[in-house]
Structure 1
């Protein structure tokens, strides 16, 4: 797989290979969140406790990408092998309707599903924090949330990326006085040196810490959320919040050659699409193919996996999905039969719905504790700063995950993904997501990985998985590999700067692919490699952003 230039590798945040660590390994998108996780491990917590602490800290220090006003998926494998998946994805309020974002002309009005309170689903992350802590943590919620409460109370200096994103979302933040008071400086994007203090958020986190789930989904916090949303044009009820539950689901399992794959089930589309693509590619000896043919075959597998994503997948509590078929080797063999090694397939020649967009501002972290408990977690508010709306007095910046539904069958979302009736809006339903937290095993080697990136999440995790499957035990290789992507519709191979070499580009175009370079490197993979037999760990944080990966 093509690597990024050497200058990029120099900037990689990675831990050295360590003999059995005393605490474990954490890779997250922000140094303060990684530090919060280690504080909890040092206090006697395990990977589940650390996951709660890292999640809550990211809600404070990386509000551009996640928060307690958003949702999360937690893929957990406990010492001894037991695996579980906590679905804390947002739900549509009971007032939601199939055509709520369509204009008089019957076309989607994007502004409605992206900005303001009408764009927000009922938050799931707080319930996820409670569930993860109860299910497998050692410490109480109050201890696990204490680093985040301290960060919100005392404040911190946001990094350059945060400040840039405030500028990009200034209009949406300014439209909500409570959000503007927190994130803007006298109505303008703040400059370097600005200290972000979030006392209302600290108070909300304290209520959650003291009371557990009722501390967010009822009482003062629920009242502030509902009153604020409804006063600004939304339509939530106290019952929408009181009825919310994080759901424990069975993770998906698959195998690619010698690699065991544990990944996210629906309402994540990522795990299904990842397994479909791997099953297709298992029929090829990729290591024996020339670089262009290898990439061509990977693109064709992506094309077919994303086609099925659009056609079949949705909330498992609302939609019957042919998951056994989609995950089978025989089905993949049928898809593989339609792939030519000497010519690109036209997406228009394949049956099914086109695929639509999803928000890119998501975050991921990976944790392995010294005992061998593992958490791979992906969290999101959708686009940067979610809806931009904050109910007064709550400190909670709400998501705009309602845009991840299919507002109209065949119409693309913010990430150009297209959906069908399976992902249509309905009261109480969870929107489809591409978030793909994943755990891999190859003999005595374990890989824990995931990334933000909207619709590109699945293709990034696929490329990281293939790197591990080829024998790479260095997470620095998984997070730095050059990235390219195809999602069935539009029928274009997107690639990041330096993601494909000149020979790759020429060769793929000769095969009939249309290529388009995106304007920036994308993704923010956080990964850990672990050798259970020796206890050795190594962690890596994507150099495309400024995360923190450490082994202690």
Structure 2
């Protein structure tokens, strides 16, 4: 077994955390799991998933229930006014599918619409209010999952979310703090004030937050499916609310939204098959590059500073290519075969000096001739072996800040994920060029990276929020699983990150010890050690040989929950 010392050293006290598991009494290498596992960023959403499973649903029904519940209890991170990516594995057919529920650009959202009088990016318009919002996609995804992959009607799988919206849930610290940081923007909008100032003051930890308009919107979705959101009363209210604040959505754009099923990206890393997100996610391509670059070294045998240096150099090159090449595959031709090729990775590896940082300025940003806590993730494995890895978002904290009156729908601000002004960084400091410029109906590039990791003995679902840092969280998780860590240890792993520009290593407190920081600086790296924690990784694992299920939830988020139920508990009254 490969040495685990370098990842164990990063874990610190996370090694002391309990591992959630259930052991079956059957012989090794079960063909189906001994129960079901759900990991999400909120305990109420995890319980919603189990409610769907107990009602006779499968992992895809549970995904609808978890997604909708998170949309209610995590308005800071996601909602039905946003979108997401759903990576699915159908155990019966063996098929993997990527459901692209990314928002789309309204026709009025031209690059010129986001420039001020001096031709500079109007950051307020790009991130706040109706102009910052793409056409919502998550309701269409819930309908698609229910109709094509689930067993239960929406009135069953949406019932927990409707109940949570109507009866309320306790405000937690992150929700309160996030509101305080966005208060000035959010209180511009009448619909937002009606939800978050209903009792006369901002949300405070321990208070019960009720969202009756959102409950009614979800009820219409449950009763009428797609028509219940994208046409009819909800659509009329959305269009009127957006127009009242100066936006320019049309009924045709709203009714014309569709999810897209895409083939996942696949590649191998050591003994693992990695199944992950294709464009318009940038995550899968970046993972393929980084892992295939790193496959050229035995990381377990290297000193911490050199190991971190090589991982950072792989990150640097992948994020550079992300910036230049990637966009919506329905609009942009991308050299994906080359970008994900082991030969291309070998060429990138050859350009890495083993003891010197490569300044990002030496990796030019020339266009080719041809996404913190403000996102959420959940992972599910059911008793049949179906799997879901799903990441959903409204982009920044509380999205655009605008709740459309009478709907409870908090709009996303995903338009900022486009290259609204080529060469100008977005809110996450990530730049883009023509490949990711807005166009009517186009999907903005994303960092969301729902992923499956497969070996002869294990099936793992993993993902995380964190904007541009999502991809590197998933990278470190894969390296940790390869080193033999448990799901809970993987979720607790301290993190570091590099994204080409700005040219600096970001690291959580304790992720890099002082000697490693000093050695990296001597190599020419700028190191921002001791940054605030980021991410909210959620993962589940089925170990076929051991006959166990286990889950890991990020300890950075105290309201998250990973749970495992044995098969008998899923069918009990």
Q: Are residues 1:129 and 2:129 paired?
A: no
Alignment gaps of 5+ in structure 1: none
Partner secondary structure for residue 361 of structure 1: coil
Query: How many aligned residue pairs are there?
Result: 547
The Cα shift of 1:188 comes to 3.3
**Which residue of 457, 462, 465 maps to 1:452?**
465
Q: What aligned pairs does 1:59-458 form with structure 2 within 5 A after superposition?
A: 59-80=71-92, 81-184=94-197, 188-352=201-365, 358=371, 360-458=373-471
* Distance in 2, Cα, partners of 1:489 & 1:168: 25
Q: Are residues 1:43 and 2:55 paired?
A: yes
The Cα shift of 1:135 comes to 2.1
The Cα shift of 1:14 comes to 4.9
Q: Which residue of 1 aligns with 2:24?
A: 19
The Cα shift of 1:498 comes to 1.1
CA pair 186-45 structure 1, distance change in 2 beyond 3 A: closer
The Cα shift of 1:6 comes to 4.7
The Cα shift of 1:503 comes to 1.8
Q: Which residue of 1 aligns with 2:507?
A: 495
The Cα shift of 1:98 comes to 2.1
**Which residue of 476, 492, 498 maps to 1:486?**
498
Partner secondary structure for residue 439 of structure 1: strand
* Distance in 1, Cα, partners of 2:474 & 2:412: 24
Partner secondary structure for residue 205 of structure 1: helix
CA pair 8-353 structure 1, distance change in 2 beyond 3 A: farther
Q: What aligned pairs does 1:526-537 form with structure 2 within 5 A after superposition?
A: 526-537=538-549
| Alignment TM-score, normalising by the size of structure 1 | 0.96
Q: Which residue of 2 aligns with 1:505?
A: 517
CA contact (8 A) 2:10 2:512 kept: no
**Which residue of 54, 57, 68 maps to 1:56?**
68
User: How big is the alpha-carbon RMSD for the aligned residues of Structure 1 and Structure 2?
Assistant: 1.6
Q: Which residue of 2 aligns with 1:477?
A: 489
Q: Which residue of 2 aligns with 1:545?
A: 557
Q: Which residue of 2 aligns with 1:516?
A: 528
| Alignment TM-score, normalising by the size of structure 2 | 0.93
* Distance in 1, Cα, partners of 2:380 & 2:38: 5
For each residue in 1:139-197, what CA deviation from the matched residue of structure 2 results, as whole angstroms up to 9, or x when unmatched?
11111111101111111111111111111111121111111121135553222332111
The Cα shift of 1:287 comes to 1.8
